[in-house]
Structure 1
Amino acid sequence: MANQVEPILITPLLDELKKERFVTIATVDYETGGPNVNAISWIFAKDEKTIFFAVDNRSRIVQNIQENNQVVLNVIVNESTYSISGEATLEAELMENVPLKLALVKINVLEVRDVMFYGSKIIVEPQYDKTYDQEAAMRLDRQVMDEMKRA
């Protein structure tokens, strides 16, 4: 059902955002003031109002959030597409116990909107493969997700 609006993460979103998945994030570009969209995968919903994600601490995402904390996550799940609006804060410039220089960002969820166009549903969710060492990727993913869960 399109155009539903909620103030919190609905149960299917909360459940799906407790694991790594393909998500896009829109921020306000700190130089141009225009939209900036990126794909991320290290994401974790702590509760109905709180989402954490990890990105390279030199990322434009981090720079953008430091200038303007308004963000929108776009996620495809539950046979639909959702837009999650919120305010982001940099929780840690450098995550501990992770070998990469990753920043930890917290989003305070303000609005969740079902933005799927009328009369349709998603039949296949986005999937991706890690193109580097699978064992190293799994180890890194565990380290990042464990740190976000502890936040």
Structure 2
Amino acid sequence: MAEKQMQELTSEMMQYLQGEKVIFLSTLDHEEGVPSTTCISWLLAVSPNKLKFAIDPRSRVIENIKTNPRLTLAFIGLEGCFAISGSGSSDLKQLDGVTIKMTEVSVNVLSVRDIMFYGSKITAEPEFTKTYNLELANKFDAAVYEALSG
């Protein structure tokens, strides 16, 4: 069965991608030229054609995007698996009002594909637990999401 492809996020995806989800971010490694995948959670869908995410400015992802802005964000949810192909911003900026240095990356959505294998659906979504001080984690998360929404 061929993958279903769309040009933008659906309203359900917009609502779902409002943070605290397991997101797989794939870029092309700037030194080795091979695909590189990392896991992020600070991501917001700001429109059907635009996403923003926060990442540590020391992350290899930053140099990868500067070298080649093409990327893919994949998530498991809404009873399936989806891959969002896009172009990361070349104007990477520091997040204001966040106590730990974080960089904002804007992504222009180029396509959205349903990549779930034929004849199946997801019945349980990935979950995670924060392993550091929960009160500090909640305060930091709130600051990151506020900065991304502004």
TM-score over 0.5 (shorter chain): yes
Q: Distance in 2 between matches of 1:92 and 1:110?
A: 19
Q: Distance in 1 between matches of 2:90 and 2:105?
A: 5
Correspondence 1:127 to 2:120: no
Q: CA deviation at 1:19?
A: 2.4
Q: CA deviation at 1:147?
A: 0.5
Percent identity of equivalent pairs: 36
What is residue 149 of structure 1 aligned with on the other side? 149
Write the letter of the residue equivalent to 2:100: L
Correspondence 1:62 to 2:67: no
How do 1:92-107 and structure 2 match up within 5 A? 92-107=92-107
Write the letter of the residue equivalent to 2:69: N
Unaligned runs of 5+ residues in structure 2 are none
Structure 2 SS opposite 1:65: helix
How do 1:27-38 and structure 2 match up within 5 A? 27-38=27-38
RMSD: 1.3
Write the letter of the residue equivalent to 1:131: T
Q: Distance in 2 between matches of 1:53 and 1:23?
A: 10
Structure 2 SS opposite 1:143: helix
Write the letter of the residue equivalent to 1:49: N
Write the letter of the residue equivalent to 1:138: N
Structure-2-length-normalised TM-score: 0.96
Q: Which runs of 4+ in 1 moved over 3 A?
A: 90-93
Structure-1-length-normalised TM-score: 0.96
Q: CA deviation at 1:10?
A: 1.2
Q: CA deviation at 1:13?
A: 1.1
Contact 1:92–1:105, Cα closer than 8 Å, also in 2? yes
Unaligned runs of 5+ residues in structure 1 are none
Q: Distance in 2 between matches of 1:92 and 1:135?
A: 29
Q: Distance in 1 between matches of 2:132 and 2:19?
A: 20
What is residue 83 of structure 1 aligned with on the other side? 83
